[in-house]
């Protein structure tokens, strides 16, 4: 591919942002109840031009090589709610040489479990970072802050004392992150619960 449309906030009139003030994206969730033009035509056909957006289609089916109705469920307690970050809070592509932090506010709205997983930018495979899995979530029981929120640290080295809340990156590789909420609660669907952007730290 010559262009990576995953870094865009939308294609045409579609708006992929999960939250208007965050960089988390999701082109498949049906967020039309929160604002119009939140979804996309999976055929990527431009009706008035009679052609297909092949770059967009290639990107989509690299990231979404499988899909199910549960992935677009907007019913509390059913299916899953996905959001993807390709950029940090400052709008720069996520880079394995840098260190980041994402804050998940208390009462993460996932009735089953939640996870943050890192993927290779080039091919959407799980990031080969030397850990058993490039993923961290509820089942790993990461430490919580005094206010009940959870900080996930992402970078080539674990911050001191934060190893249980750390996902490793590879300095030579770019990556993207997916936050998944399984059996999402109402606060996930209506947008009242919002994770921070992935913020670069020194």
For the chain, give the mean pLDDT: 83
Could you give the CA distance from residue 184 to residue 76 in angstroms, rounded to a whole number? 6
| Strands in 156-198 per DSSP E | 166-168, 175-184
Return the pLDDT at 131.
Answer: 94
How far is the CA of 57 from the CAs of 1, 18, 63, in angstroms?
A: 11, 20, 10
46 strand-pairing partners: 51
Return the pLDDT at 74.
Answer: 80
- Which tokens sit at 179? 């936050």
> Each residue of 2-13: pLDDT tens digit?
344 444 555 554
HSE, CB side, 13 Å, CA atoms: give it for residue 201.
16
The structural domain count of the chain equals: 1
> Each residue of 121-132: pLDDT tens digit?
888 889 999 999
Could you give the CA distance from residue 6 to residue 175 in angstroms, rounded to a whole number? 12
Is 117 exposed, middle or buried (CB count within 10 Å of its CB: 0-12, 13-18, 19+)?
middle
Range of the domain at 145: 5-201
For the sheet containing 110-120, what is the strand order?
Answer: 80-85, 175-184, 110-120, 135-137
Return the pLDDT at 155.
Answer: 98
pTM tops 0.95: no
CATH code: domain of residue 32: 2.60.120.600
- Which tokens sit at 193? 């619960």
Report angle CA 178, 182, 186 to the nearest 5 degrees.
105
Tell me the residue length of the chain. 202
pLDDT at residue 16 greater than cutoff 90 = no
In this structure, how many other beta carbons lie within 10 angstroms of the beta carbon of residue 168?
A: 18
pLDDT at residue 156 greater than cutoff 90 = yes
Could you give the CA distance from residue 191 to residue 27 in angstroms, rounded to a whole number? 16
Q: 């996932």: which residue's tokens?
A: 110
Identify whether the C-beta of residue 82 lies closer than 8 Å to the C-beta of residue 177: no
Could you give the CA distance from residue 29 to residue 197 in angstroms, rounded to a whole number? 19
> Each residue of 58-83: pLDDT tens digit?
666 666 656 676 777 788 999 899 89
> Each residue of 43-60: pLDDT tens digit?
666 666 667 666 666 666
174: helix, coil or strand?
A: strand
């Amino acid at each position: 591919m010559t262009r990576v449309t995953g870094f865009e906030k939308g294609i045409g009139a579609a708006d992929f942002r999960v939250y208007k003030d965050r960089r988390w994206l999701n082109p498949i969730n049906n967020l039309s109840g929160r604002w119009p033009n939140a979804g996309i035509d999976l055929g990527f056909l431009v009706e008035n031009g009679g052609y297909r957006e092949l770059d967009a289609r290639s990107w989509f089916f690299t990231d979404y090589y499988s899909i199910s109705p549960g992935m677009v469920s907007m019913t509390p307690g059913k299916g899953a709610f996905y959001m993807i970050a390709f950029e940090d809070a400052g709008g720069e592509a996520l880079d394995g040489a840098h260190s980041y932090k994402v804050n998940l506010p208390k009462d993460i709205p996932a009735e089953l479990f939640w996870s943050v997983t890192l993927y290779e930018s080039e091919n959407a495979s799980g990031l080969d970072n030397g850990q058993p899995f490039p993923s961290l979530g509820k089942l790993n029981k990461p430490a919580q802050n005094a206010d009940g929120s959870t900080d996930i640290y992402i970078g080539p080295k674990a911050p001191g004392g934060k190893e249980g809340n750390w996902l490793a990156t590879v300095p030579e590789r770019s990556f993207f992150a997916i936050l998944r909420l399984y059996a999402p609660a109402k606060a996930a669907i209506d947008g009242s619960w919002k994770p921070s952007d992935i913020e670069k730290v020194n």
